[in-house]
Amino acid sequence: MKKFLSVRDVKQLPKDSDFYVMGLVSKFTRRKDRNDNPFWEMTISDTSGDLEGKVWPASSWRNTQGGDDFPIDPDNCGLRFEGSSVKVMGRTAEFRDQAQYNFNEISYLDQNEFPPRMFARRSPIKSEYLEDTFRDLIAEISHAPLREFVDAAFFKHGLWEKFKVWPAAVTLHHAYTGGLLEHSVSVAIGARDMARHYADFMIPVNMDLVIAGALLHDIGKLEAYTINPVPQVTPTGNAIEHITLGYSMFMRLAEAEHLDSGLTLALGHILVSHHGKREYGSPVLPVTPEAFIVNAADDADFKLSYWKAQIDALNIQSEVTDYLPAIDRRLWRGIAPK
């Protein structure tokens, strides 16, 4: 009997281990080697993570829809692999001292029997908790016009139905269904608590602006990304990016709700500066306590989420990850909390 492993379990296997895994294809790219021979880079995703593998010319491709099982040519079979469910037989290897996964047989599954959504990742935090906490955070805003604006932005102008299920990214952090809500709630709680701390140390912080700015900071991702069933960048997101899109959305909402010009300026500044540096996509740098705090909370939430994903995928015998270009360092497992 074939024992299908989760992606997380596959990553714990030693070199030269055979494995079977089932999931959806979240990335599928045709390449050529130095000798002009074709190969494919394929990422298989399930609820436990992503597995990047190589498919070499000698690999077998099969179609198992409707109970059939026959060989196919991936370039001329009329099937779209990206976003579809497959099962893979593979083998672990090592290349330049790093783990590599070779996919030796790829079978296209019956998409009705194995719908891709059954493998799609979701936020590990209960949606009811996140939704209730989001509404509670709005209720904490003491300045009535600002509280009413934030409430209207999400619940009157139709953002909420997408916002609560949207991804926060395509790869690096919270890249799954419900990721945007999870990230926004986490940033808002972290920013609120940080603001309370600095207010106690005599820094004049507007708590209402911190909470509102944190909840709104990533609304541009509603136009920058989509999910079908894995997160993808939209053409608009690729051309304009989420910070600019979010500021444009915010200004339309502020005008529609007749938000005070001072609040509009202060909130808009948080949105356009929340990445902290121009090279990270922010057109301006934070210049107010509220913007500093939201930027710090956003950066910490991204890095901690990324750390957890990388450590969860790390082989149990390893203490340190490979070098990660996205954050320009290797990550350490550290000492487990008691």
| Mean pLDDT of all residues in 211-223 | 97
Q: What are phi and psi of 302, to 5 degrees?
A: -60, -50
Domain boundary among 91, 116, 141: 116
Tell me how far CA of residue 71 lies from CA of 24, 63, 68, 107, 238, in angstroms. 19, 6, 10, 9, 36
Residues 176 and 307 in one domain: yes
CA 202 – CA 40 distance, rounded (Å): 58
Task: Flag whether 331 is in a domain.
Answer: no
Tokens 């990047």 belong to 52
pTM of the predicted protein model: 0.85
Q: Comparing C-alpha atoms, which of 104, 113, 115, 91 is closest to residue 23?
A: 115
| Mean pLDDT of all residues in 1-15 | 86
Q: What are phi and psi of 21, to 5 degrees?
A: -140, 150
Task: Flag whether 252 is in a domain.
Answer: yes
What are the tens digits of pLDDT across the range 98-134? 788 999 999 999 999 999 989 988 999 999 999 999 9
Mean pLDDT over each residue of the chain, to the nearest integer: 92
Residues 77 and 177 in one domain: no
Range of lowest pLDDT (107-111, 215-219, 285-289, 315-319): 315-319
Residue 282 — pLDDT band, cuts 50, 70, 90? very high
What are the tens digits of pLDDT across the range 34-83? 888 889 999 999 988 889 999 998 999 999 988 888 999 888 888 889 88
Residues 57 and 146 in one domain: no
CATH number for the domain including 296?
A: 1.10.3210
What is the reported pLDDT for 161? 94
Q: Comparing C-alpha atoms, which of 21, 33, 25 is closest to residue 105?
A: 21
**Residues contacting residue 281 through CB under 8 Å, at least 6 positions apart:** 241, 243, 275
Residues 232 and 98 in one domain: no
Taking a C-beta distance cutoff of 8 angstroms, is the pair 106, 91 a contact?
Answer: no
Asked if residue 1 has pLDDT above 70, the reply is no
How many separate domains does the chain show? 2
What is the reported pLDDT for 290? 98
Residue 288 — pLDDT band, cuts 50, 70, 90? very high
What are the tens digits of pLDDT across the range 161-182? 999 999 999 888 998 999 999 9
CATH number for the domain including 37?
A: 2.40.50.140
The residue range of the domain holding 182 is 127-311
Asked if residue 186 has pLDDT above 90, the reply is yes
